[in-house]
Amino acid sequence: MSQRWNQERKNEEYYKKAKKQDYRSRASFKLLQLNRKFKIIKKGNSVVDLGAAPGGWSQVALEAVGEDGVVVAVDLNRIKPFDEDNFWSIKGDFTQKDTLEEIQRTLQGKTQVIISDASPKLSGIKDLDQLRSIDLAQSVLQISDGILKYKGNIIMKVFQGEGYPELLKDIKKKFQTVKTTKPPSSRKKSGEMYIVGRGFRREGKKH
């Protein structure tokens, strides 16, 4: 009971921190911690945030890229704009070709970083939700072929379980280095894992 209470208190702590520091979501701290550890997003980078609503990750990405970078946020739901001029939002399904074309038009090319904290619509059935998460992560990986620059980087969320080892293998074919991690702000009881890929290879070729 004490351990559970401490964990719930910690989660509440991140919620309070988000309110205090004017972040849109407690999930903002996940990207803050991931980027502090892996340095995936740098000043001047272009970043595409897939499944971005309500904008917690985009907010952190905007801080990381600075005035010379660009952040393009994509979600089925409308994302409330930020004040920065280098932020664009696209309302659409990122698994669809027309949305990908709109991303490319907005970027005027390709991006240096893809980030995705996207979750499938949860049914409450653990196995089904986990498989949907794998499908969504595979979609993010496929999208990298169309919009990620050579030697680009990626951070994506996925739920562990069936299909997870195969997904990791697929990611390792496309990126020079791949790490899996769970930031401190992620709930311990959650099955979510974050995959960090560095050094995108063209068309999944090893060399």
Q: For the segment 20-34, what is each residue's pLDDT rounded down to a tens digit?
A: 777 888 899 999 999
Residue 86 vs residues 39, 67, 127, 163: alpha-carbon distances, Å: 20, 7, 39, 37
Phi then psi for residue 195, to 5 deg, are: -110, 130
Strand partners, 153: 113
Q: For the segment 31-82, what is each residue's pLDDT rounded down to a tens digit?
A: 999 999 999 999 999 999 999 999 999 999 999 999 999 999 999 999 999 9
Active-site annotation holder among 19, 157, 169, 182: 157
Domain annotation for the chain: domains and CATH numbers: 2-204 (3.40.50.150)
DSSP string for 106-155: HHTS-EEEEEE---PPP-S-HHHHHHHHHHHHHHHHHHHHHHEEEEEEEE
- Please give the Cα distance from 185 to 194 (Å, whole number): 12
Give yes or no for residue 206 having a pLDDT over 80: no
**Residue in 93, 98, 53, 44 with CA at minimum distance from that of residue 71:** 44
Radius of gyration from C-alpha coordinates of the chain: 16
DSSP character for 51? Answer: T
Residue 157 bears catalytic tag: yes
As a whole number, mean pLDDT of residues 129-142 equals 93
Q: pLDDT at position 129, please?
A: 87
